[in-house]
C-alpha cells in the first residue's frame, strides 16, 4: 500500500541544464556521476537525467525525488546533465537531439515548466552553452 506522502507528487516548474565539465573523450554516465556525488557525501547522483556522449538518456534520481544540482532551486526542478563541456560547448549532435526530446517530454508533462541553464542561477559557466539562445533556435513544442 502506498501512503499519502508517496502518492503526492512534488510540484515541478523548472528544468535546469548542467554539464559534467569533462573532456569530450570521457565516455561516462550515471554510474560514474553517482560515484562522484556519493564521494561528496550525497545519498546518490544529484541529477534526474544524464545525457551520454552517444545521446543515450540515463535516469538518475526519479522525478518524484528532489534533486541536488542547483542551490536554492532543487525543490521544484528537474536536473539534466549532459556529459562533456570541458572548457567549450562540445555537445554531440546526438546529445542535442536527446536534450530536445527530453525537454519536449518534460514540457508535455509539466504545464508551464520553464527551462534554464545552471548559469542563470549561479556564477558558474555550467552548462557551457547559452540555454536561452538554444531555446530561441530550437522548436520544442
Ligand atoms: Zn551545473
CATH of the domain at 86: 3.40.80.10
Cell of 130: 547559452
Report the largest interatomic distance among the alpha carbons of the chain, rounded to a whole angstrom: 49
Q: Which residue has the cell 554539464?
A: 19
Region for residue 132 given its phi and psi (left: phi exceeds 0; alpha: psi -120 to 50; beta: otherwise): alpha
pLDDT in tens, the chain (141 residues): 555 555 578 999 999 999 999 999 999 999 999 999 999 999 999 999 999 999 999 999 999 999 999 999 999 999 999 999 998 999 999 999 999 999 999 999 999 999 999 999 999 999 999 999 999 988 775
Residue 4 forms part of a structural domain: no
- Which residues constitute the domain of residue 53? 10-137
> Ligand 1 centroid to 14 CA: how many Å?
14
pLDDT of residue 7: 57
pLDDT of residue 98: 97
Residue 75 forms part of a structural domain: yes
> Ligand 1 centroid to 1 CA: how many Å?
37
pLDDT of residue 127: 98
Residues taking part in catalysis:
18, 47, 118, 124, 126
Specify the number of domains making up the chain: 1
Amino acid at each position: 500500500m502506498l501512503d499519502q506522502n508517496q502518492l503526492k507528487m512534488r510540484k515541478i516548474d523548472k528544468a535546469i541544464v548542467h554539464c559534467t565539465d569533462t573532456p569530450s573523450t570521457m565516455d561516462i554516465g550515471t554510474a560514474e556521476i553517482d560515484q562522484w556525488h556519493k564521494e561528496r557525501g550525497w545519498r546518490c547522483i544529484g541529477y534526474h537525467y544524464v545525457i551520454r556522449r552517444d545521446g543515450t538518456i540515463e535516469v538518475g534520481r526519479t522525478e518524484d525525488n528532489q534533486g541536488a544540482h542547483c542551490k536554492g532551486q532543487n525543490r521544484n526542478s528537474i536536473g539534466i546533465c549532459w556529459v562533456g563541456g570541458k572548457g567549450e560547448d562540445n555537445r554531440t549532435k546526438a546529445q542535442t537531439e536527446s536534450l530536445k526530446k527530453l525537454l519536449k517530454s518534460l514540457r508535455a508533462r509539466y504545464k508551464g515548466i520553464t527551462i534554464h541553464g545552471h548559469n542563470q542561477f549561479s556564477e558558474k559557466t555550467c552548462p557551457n552553452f547559452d540555454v536561452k539562445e538554444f531555446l530561441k533556435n530550437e522548436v520544442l513544442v
